[in-house]
Amino acid sequence: MSRCRPGRALAALLLTGTLGLSACAVPAGDQQNGTSELTVFAAASLAAPFTRLAEDFEAAHPGTTVRLNLAGSADLAAQILAGAPADVFASADEANMAKVVDAGMAAEEPRNIATNTLTIAVPAGNPAGIAGFADLAAAGVQVVVCAEQVPCGAAAEKLAQNAGILLAPVSEESSVTGVMGKVVSGEADAGLVYVTDVRASGGKVQEVPFPEAKEAVNRYPLVRLAAAGDSGLADAFVRYVGADEGRRALQEAGFGVP
């Protein structure tokens, strides 16, 4: 009989452990002890400027902690629709923002905070000698783009159609980081990525700018969510990003600002 006891203790421990875990999973909207938390869901491409803005915002609002959740816009939108506790959402495209707005989960009309355009990234030394957009369609050039299903791929497709050229990519990646990876490693001769990706790579790839790029501009909408715990604080963050500090941080990362 006594041999059963450790077992029971273990079971009890497991049970309390599980309860403890599930307690942790409850949305953190606590505002005791004069501290407040702001959860910002932002597109992965906003990582650099938003990390800086979050720190500056915390400094300007003592007692505030900004939690950044950085991921692909489609993932973030799906998480918000599934009830993830978010106060602010910054999307890398209008389509994913529309999903959240259409579900009635936005507290206001989204505002565009930044624009991004595509550019050609080539490995150091530009081994295939890419000089412009039309060179991407040349025979033997290994081009990597985003798949049509993701915003960077839709933009690439639009540019190719406008220019009347047929891209035959060797790979259609599901994210722009996938494209960057293939260019940085030298697997691809060229990749269509965002201007901000080249800027963030710190010289690991070279850029071949092309004038046609401005025909496909990606807009980044930002919105306060209806479920925001502290709507005043969320609103302050949204205004902060749209103000001079925010614009400067975005511009330095290579974004265009409206």
Partner 1 sequence: MSRSNTVPLPRWVLAGAAAGALFLLLPLAAVAAEVNWAEFIPLVTSESSLAALSLSLRTAAASTLLCVLLGVPLALVLARARFPGKRLVRSLVLLPLVLPPVVGGIALLYTFGRQGLLGGALEAMGVQVAFSTAAVVLAQTFVALPFLVLTLEGALRTAGTRYEAVAATLGARPWTVLRRVTVPLVLPGLASGAVLSFARCLGEFGATLAFAGSLQGVTRTLPLEIYLQREADADAAVALSLVLVLVAVVVVGLSYRSAPARSADTRSAGGRSATAGAAD
Binding site for partner 1 (CB under 8 A): 4, 7-8, 10-11, 14, 72, 74, 78, 142, 144, 147, 149-150, 169-174, 178, 181-182, 185-187
Write down the least CB distance from residue 122 to partner 1, Å. 13
Write down the least CB distance from residue 73 to partner 1, Å. 9
Query: What is the gyration radius of the CA atoms in the chain, in angstroms?
Result: 22
In the complex with partner 1, which residue's Cβ is closer, 71 or 236?
A: 71
Write down the least CB distance from residue 102 to partner 1, Å. 14
Write down the least CB distance from residue 178 to partner 1, Å. 7
What CA–CA distances, in Å, run from 193 to 7, 167, 245? 56, 15, 26
In the complex with partner 1, which residue's Cβ is closer, 53 or 146?
A: 146
In the complex with partner 1, which residue's Cβ is closer, 178 or 246?
A: 178
In the complex with partner 1, which residue's Cβ is closer, 66 or 92?
A: 92
In the complex with partner 1, which residue's Cβ is closer, 45 or 64?
A: 45
| Cβ contact 166:138 at 8 Å | no
Write down the least CB distance from residue 148 to partner 1, Å. 8
